Amino acid sequence: MLSQFFFTLREHQVPVTIPEYLTLLEALKGDVIGPNIDEFYLLARSALVKDETHFDKFDRAFAAFYRGVEAATGPSHEIPLEWLRKQAELNLSAEEKALIESLGGWDELMKRFRERLEEQKERHEGGKKWIGTAGKSPFGAYGFNPEGIRIGQQESRNRSAVKVWDAREFRNLDGDVQLGTRNLKVALRRLRRFAREGAASELDLDSTIDHTARNAGLLDLQLRPERHNAVKVLLLLDIGGSMDEHSRLCSELFSAARAEFRHLEFFYFHNCVYDHVWNDNRRRHGARTATWDLMHRFNADYRLIFVGDATMSPFEILRPGGSLEYMNEDAGADWLQRLTDVYQRSIWLNPTPEENWGYHYTIGVIRDLMGGRMFPLTLDGLERGMRALARKGPLL
Partner 1 sequence: MSPRFTGSKTYVATDDLRLSVNAAITLGRPLLIKGEPGTGKTRLAEEVARGLGMPLLEWHIKSTTKAQQGLYEYDAVSRLRDSQLGDPKVHDIANYIVPGMLWQAFESDTPVVLLIDEIDKADIEFPNDLLRELDRMEFYVYETRQLIRAKQRPLVFITSNNEKDLPDAFLRRCFFHYIRFPDKETMEQIVEVHYPGIKKALLREALEAFFAVREVPGLKKKPSTSELLDWLKLLLAEDIPPEALRTDDRKSIIPPLHGALLKNEQDVHLFERLVFMSRRS
| 303-307: strand order across its sheet | 288-290, 276-278, 263-269, 232-238, 303-307, 346-350, 374-376
Stretch that binds partner 1, among 97-105, 126-134, 179-187, 300-308 (CB under 8 A): 179-187
Using CB under 8 A as the binding rule, whether residue 259 contacts partner 1 is answered as no
Is 185 a binding residue for partner 1 by CB under 8 A? The answer is yes
Return d(Cα 215, Cα 213) in angstroms, integer.
5
Tell me which stretch binds partner 1 (CB under 8 A): 79-87, 96-104, 218-226, 318-326.
Answer: 218-226
Query: What are the residues whose beta carbons fall under 8 Å from the beta carbon of 332, sequence distance 6 or more?
Result: 271, 272, 273, 274, 316, 317, 318, 322, 323
Give the CA angle between residues 109, 112, 116 to the nearest 5°: 135
Closer Cβ to partner 1, 70 or 383, answer by number: 383
Q: How far is the CB of 15 from partner 1 (least distance, A)?
A: 7
Mark residues 108-147: x for contact with partner 1 by CB under 8 A, - for none. Answer: ----------------------------------------
DSSP state of 357: G
Q: How far is residue 155's CA from residue 165's CA, in Å, rounded to a whole number?
A: 18
Q: Work out whether 20 is an interface residue with partner 1 (CB under 8 A).
A: yes
Residue closer to partner 1 by CB (options 45, 303) is 45
Pick the piece of the chain touching partner 1 (CB under 8 A) from 127-135, 181-189, 232-240, 313-321.
Answer: 181-189
Q: At what angle do helices 94-102 and 105-123 cross, to 10 degrees?
A: 80
Number of residues near partner 1 (by CB under 8 A): 38
91 binds partner 1 (CB under 8 A): no
Using a 10 angstrom Cβ sphere, with 0-12 exposed, 13-18 middle and 19 or more buried, the burial of residue 380 is middle
If one asks whether residue 19 binds partner 1 (CB under 8 A), the answer comes out as yes
Is residue 214 at the binding interface for partner 1, with CB under 8 A as the rule? no
Calculate the alpha carbon distances from 260 to 146, 243, 244, 246, 256 in Å: 34, 24, 24, 21, 6
Q: How far is the CB of 28 from partner 1 (least distance, A)?
A: 10
How far is the C-alpha of 317 from the C-alpha of 270, rounded, in Å?
A: 11
| Cα separations in angstroms, 167 against 42, 118, 128, 176 | 14, 15, 18, 19
Which one, 36 or 356, has the nearer CB to partner 1?
36
Q: Pick from 192, 224, 232, 338: which binds partner 1 (CB under 8 A)? A: 192
Distances from the Cα of 94 to the Cα of 89, 138, 139, 141, 144, angstroms: 9, 15, 18, 20, 23
Report the helix count and the strand count for the chain, using DSSP H and E: 16, 9
β-bridge pairing 194-203 and 232-238: unpaired
- The residue within the footprint of partner 1, chosen from 129, 182, 193, 296 (CB under 8 A), is 182
* Least separation in angstroms between CB 293 and partner 1: 36
Hey, which residues between 29 and 58 contact partner 1 (CB under 8 A)?
30-33, 39, 42-43, 45-47, 49-52, 55
Rounded Cα distance between 90 and 71, Å, is 32
Q: Using the rule CB under 8 A, is 189 a contact of partner 1?
A: yes
- Specify the residue, 26 or 293, whose C-beta has the smaller distance to partner 1: 26
CB of 301 to partner 1, least distance (A): 22
Q: Should residue 317 be labelled a site residue for partner 1 when binding is judged by CB under 8 A?
A: no
Rounded to a whole number of angstroms, the minimum distance from the CB of residue 368 to partner 1 is 32
Instruction: Give the residues lining the site for partner 1 (CB under 8 A).
Output: 15, 17, 19-20, 23, 26-27, 30-33, 39, 42-43, 45-47, 49-52, 55, 169-170, 182, 185-186, 189, 192, 203, 205, 208-209, 212, 217-219, 221
